[in-house]
Structure 1
Amino acid sequence: MRVLTCLSLEHHFPSVILAALVCILSCLLSMRLQRRSERSDGGVQVAWLVITAICLSAGIWSTHFIAMLGYRPAATVTLDVNQTAFSALIIVCGTIIGSYLATLSWSFARALAGAVVGLSVTGMHYVGMAAYDLDALVSWDLRYVIASVVLGVFFASLAFELSDRFDKGLKKLIPGLLLALGVVSLHFTGMGAMVVIPLGASEGLNPVTFQILAFTTAVATLVVVGAGGIGYAVEAGLRERSDRRMRHLALHDIVTNLPNRACFSAMVDHAIETRAGKRLAVLMIDLNRFKEINDVWGHQAGDTVLCDIADRLRGHERPGGFAARLGGDEFGIVIPVEDETALTEELNLIDSLFQTPVRHADFEIITSASLGVALCPEDGEDRETLMRNADLAMYKAKTDPLHRIQQYEHALGEAVRQRRELAQDLRRALETGQLKMHYQPQIDLKTGDVCGYEALVRWPHPVRGLVSPAEFIPLAEANGLIGRLGDWVLETTCEEVARWPGSPKVAINLSAIQLNDPHLVGKVLQALVSTGLSPTQLEIELTETALIHDLRQSLSVLRRIKALGVSMALDDFGTGYSALETLRQFPFDKIKLDKGFTDGLSDGGRSRAVISAVVTLARNLDIPVLAEGVETADQLELLNMVGCEQAQGYLIGRPAPAENGAPPAVQDVMWRPAEPAATHYGS
């Protein structure tokens, strides 16, 4: 009752409201600043602690000072400036210490911090009251004094203790309100503890002067607190902007700015949940030969391709559909499906987005992609199943260059899984040395002597048995293993052949992907130097298909390899599109006729005439011709008759591993060299 009587009868009520308003605003802001300092470290934390202490101490001291200016005792009142200043120093020091303690990791640090702030408010209050010099007898009710201290310390400790629990939404106002309650209850309970008995007539400062001073103090304090609030708001805005940026980066690809895999997964889940009975198509897309783009034109060109395709996909998005970059050269798309016809048109349109050349610097980069499609709900009703099945269909598309778009089928899953398992086995085979080199002899038809060997890689699988190169070579190309495989073949062949007696010649096949390797020349040189194999013993075989991809770049690489002393052979001659142009631009050391021409020798005169024409052309260019796939003595004799210089095939010798540091032997062939007909050479 004494507190209420003092508040209602001995105070100027507008001053009380003003003091309470200043207290609430400063405490609310200060507790937010305190949380900001707790989340910082180093010099930034020190800065926030200072700002917190200034705002809190200014607000609490002003609350006390304004309320005291609103106090109307029936006695003369004067102010002691020194004691008033000392009271301000007490609250500044107390809030600095308390704010610092709250940042510590102790289990009771926040409660202790609140207690320190509560005690500093107590000290400030009673020192400030001592600064009021009253012309009266003053007595104190110890019960109210104790109650004021308990209230101030309790609510301040509770405010700091709950600050980390109530930190979201409107709940974050609770700690500030509790602290304000503690300050106000301490002040007015302390005022109620004081009993004033006047000694004479009341004189002193004019009440109007008190009101002006109270108002001025409130304005000054709110300016200080407002400055802190503005700083907090600006920093919070910058932090929110930074958080949004970080969230964006966490959910988007940094190169293309498309959603990334994590974001795509969440978006697919949402699309499935909200499809309301409609069908969805999930597409997994993989760029073909993207590694070659990076290797040949550089990673900047690769990024240009990715960004250009991303722009096309963004421009193509349909209502309810979206696209993402899932990583590397892989993209994902979800589109709503109306019917099969619309789906087919949409897939063809998306495929065309990847076929359009990309302009980079002064040249165009030709791209293509493999698309796998899975439908919801036919091929799966959850995101994981749909993405896995679309991925399986895409993998199938990569192995079939004639069908770049593949829709998931239940039978497809098992076949693709087996190919994936085989691809994983191939990767392990390269790591564990399962692969073996076999060598097939080549003979000179004039003498019957061995003139060289072709190196052929074989894979004796521990479970499947011997895996055909026709199966694992395309598998290596589709899974990015052909480069490692080609490097292993080059190094192993040079190492084994270097130990053979007689310095025989060995031919190694080179793929188009290897030909685009910018380090190819260095790898060839390193293999020769490290094994001691003479460059004249090594022959590189290339198909016209491998050359046609980028003829200018390929021929430049071949000239550099040839400069090392390595010879070159054009493999599968006659099966490409520009065989004569290729021979015109590059001086090959040998032409290898495709097995199809050899097989056709027994069918009539057309294959024989073609071989004769090729031999005549090669003779004029001073290039020997080797026929592949010789399996019968009749074929061998006919080849000799038309002037073919060299031959290779099962009749002469099957591919076999080198044993005891020696090449495989040639089979005993019942054949004798024959004089070729003069008409087949021209005059």
Structure 2
Amino acid sequence: MRISRWGRRSTLDRVRLVACAAGATGFLGMAPPVLASPHPLPWRLAGVAALVALAVLAVVTYRRRRPVPGDVLLIPGLMVLGGISHQDPLSTIGVCSNAIFAFSLYGSHRRGAVLAVAAGLAIPVVVSISPYSLGRLIPWHHPAVLGNLPQMALMALLMRILHSCLRAQELSARREGLLARTGSQFLRLRDLQALREAVTAAGEDLAELAPGTAVLVVERRAGSAIVVASCGALQGLAGAAVPDDLSAVLDALPPDVLTPLPQGPGALGAAAPQVGHWQGVALATAEVERFLLLGGTRRVDESVLDGYRTLADQFSLAEASCASYERLSHRASHDELTGLPTRALFLEQVGDAIDIRCGAVTLLNIDLDDFKQVNDVHGHAAGDELLVEAARRMREVCGGASVPARFGGDEFAVLLPTSLGGEDAAELARALCRRLTDPMVLSAATVTVGASIGVASWSAPLTAGDVLRCADIAMYTAKAMGKNRVEVFDPTRHGDVARHRLLEDHLISAVERGEVFLHYEPAVDPATGACVAVEARPHWMHPLLGLLRPEDFLPQALRSGRICDIGAHTLRTACTEVAAWSDADGMGEVEVRVDVAARQLADPTFADVVLDALAASGLPARRLLLELVDADDTDERTAHPQLRRLAGHGVRLVVDGFAGGRDCLTMHEGFPVSELKLDAEAVEPGADAHRVLGLAQAIGGFLGLRLTACAVATAEHAEELRALGVAAVQGPVVAPAMPATHLASWVARRARVSAASAAD
């Protein structure tokens, strides 16, 4: 809802606007009678100019919201000049009344009194200069003249009272609005220094609403009183010590009761000699002794005192909130037992070190050997003592510039200083290993443990997590080689392990980051050469290892369980892209084949994933073939209902990797298989391959299965397979897997070549 400009004004501002409008209108309304008076023309013009000047001055004063400098001298002269130009000098009463009405709502009480006296004197002065009223002579002391002076005084007094009340109301509303904003602002702050700066700024804002006010916030620390904040008439005293005489007075202040400070002016006179009327209150805080001292050039109003006390209470509450947040943050990022950083904070510190040190970063990954035995024999309390002592020894050996951390259990890590790297880091790790094997005297017993330590240094383009993983690999290698030893990470010796670790780490969010995309391997009819199907093959653009083919990462995805995410992504993408190409030349009935692992079929939502992909893409179900790549591992109890459901919608199933016929024979009873795919062993030239191929041909003919051959290398071999009844071939003789952007044009060219061959 929009609020009008009138509604946004304060009550005082609205009254001032009405007074300004009424006064200016009154001044201008007197101009016509002045022009019609019998006085000489210059006299009349001077009077009109004075009235117009008063009207303009009223408007300017309202726009400034404060008096024009020197107006207490200017206004009386204009009132006299405007009055004597009237035909009747008693008309000056109207000029003076308008002036009091228009100008009394600004400035101090002293100014208001001067203005009232000037307005009262202007009437007899005008009568003295122009003593004729309605054709008769009247002296300046005539009752008709002096009788109006009490009315002028009463009007001025009432206007000042109105000004004082409305001004107090406005200041109170502004203080309340300021405190309402600061209360919510303070509670959002989490840094204590930022909170102190915000409180000081708010104190200055409050001081502007009460000019002449001086404020000190004093805390008692280590037996001495220190100024922690100052504002208003006293500034720049933060950090100064409070004089002893005033410090003694603070001890006598009761809590939450403002008390005059008899020694305040004497103790603070040097800092602010113009400020007196000091009062103080002891603030209730849990952490420190805190006092609020207020003074002013005159006695500070109770509403001002309440505002500062509210601000102090808000600060105390926000300070406690900051302290609680700091404790919780420390607890979340530090191990409660040893006080060391946890994994998340440690990795953040390692990342910062990589950025700052430009790569001069070396880590130790430490695992205590035989710690479980201490826990089992002597109890968890002894185990906790051992961990605390181990953390102490790490600080002792690695030095204050190092950053040790505990990851949980008996696993630790250390970020070494910049100066330590290479052999120096390995030597320090060996020294730490020896120190950790020294006997540890615990409450329950004296025990001895060992330590397996891995050392790794950063090199581009590794992240902080990658460096830690390398140190972790080296540590596990040390443990596997007999424990209680140091192993430095070497890519030539630990590369395979490191690669698996990198794959596992990045597989978790590879799909979400958009790193997995598809290439398509076409399959053609060996009789016509036309493309009949494309096999979707996921590829991964690894952030560190570059482009990975399916065989490079799918086994790891299968072991880690990420195959379900990658498989679902492959299904959705393949259906969407192939459906989008349906109108392209030669793509109208091309089928898409997607590999499915047994682990995917174990997911009870697999059928829903497939049907959702078909529905979202608009691809007909008859054009989707699911290739089961590990048929022997499939759990028929879970897979059978889902595959039956998919077959009911028109989706077909292919048994992939047939080399002996067992897969097809054992599965055909439970699964709706429609095609048999022959692997490289079945189609490569040779007597054994011919027997396998013959068996597959016989089984396919008996069960009504279509045959497809992969890894076909030559045109001659493709022709042999065509003669044996193979319906589709793929492999080097056709084309390698290609990006989606190249497939449609390749299929179109293949269709044109096939059509030309058929025409010939």
For normalisation by structure 2, the TM-score amounts to: 0.37
Higher-Rg structure is 2
Which TM-score applies when normalising by structure 1?
A: 0.41
Higher relative contact order (CA closer than 8 Å, sequence separation 6+):
1
